[in-house]
Amino acid sequence: MTDGEGRLLPSEIPAAGRRTPRRRPRADAVRNRAQILAAAEHLFSEQEPHTVTMDQIARSAGVGRATLYRRFPDPGAIAAALLEEHERLLQGRLAYGPPPLGPGAPAADRLAAFYAASVDLLERHLPLALGAEAGAARFASGSYRYWQAHVRLLLADSGSPDPDACADALLGPLAPEVYRFQRHHLGLEPQRIIDSLTLLAHRMLGH
């Protein structure tokens, strides 16, 4: 059917051609998610991340298990959601922030700045990183692929003969398990770790 000017009435427009209004999350769903994330972050900071259970999180958040499982399949997914918020900020600084972390500085200086920012993130959120990115899960995360692409680009800009192979090697020191070992078993201070990674950045990418 058409109107008086030959245009299709809204009811006759194919579904693919109509814009479907995006549903806003219900207030209780937003509140439950916030409670779940806050409870999980507290638990991750109080005990070994791999020992945190979904039952603990549900009880601490004051939500039912069904509510929890509708949103997250396991504790690692909750840790990943928390960590993602912090990592997204760093990704924005890498893409749009001022040098040396952002564009405009030599590759070695940018890598050194990335190392320093990553150490700061690990220092502040190590329990989340351990809960979200332990073992092989680290390599499957979107953030790791972002860091990998960033470091690979810096290697290519510096003239590295094999950026693909070197990118993962340069990200190795930022594995959460490595950082925990250095900080809590060897007792290294964050600045000492940053200084060593800065030296690595300039040895690998400097000229």
What does CATH list as the number for 74-205? 1.10.357
Residue 33: predicted pLDDT: 86
Which tokens is 78 given? 């909750």
Which tokens is 3 given? 């109107």
The answer to whether 116 and 132 are in contact (CB under 8 A) is no
In a 3-state reduction of DSSP, which class is residue 47?
coil
Residue 196: predicted pLDDT: 97
What does CATH list as the number for 26-73? 1.10.10.60
Residue ranges of E strands in the chain: none
In a 3-state reduction of DSSP, which class is residue 73?
coil
Residue 131: predicted pLDDT: 79
Residue 137: predicted pLDDT: 66
pTM reported for the whole predicted model? 0.74
Domain boundaries, the chain: 26-73, 74-205
Please state whether the peptide bond connecting residue 100 to the residue before it is cis, i.e. omega within 30 degrees of 0. yes
Cβ neighbours of residue 70 closer than 8 Å, sequence gap 6 or more? none
Per-residue pLDDT of the chain (207 residues; tens, 9 = 90+): 444 444 444 344 344 444 445 555 567 778 888 888 888 888 888 887 778 899 999 999 999 989 898 888 888 888 888 888 889 889 999 999 999 999 999 999 999 999 999 999 999 888 888 877 666 667 777 788 999 999 999 999 999 999 999 999 999 999 999 999 999 999 999 999 999 999 999 999 986
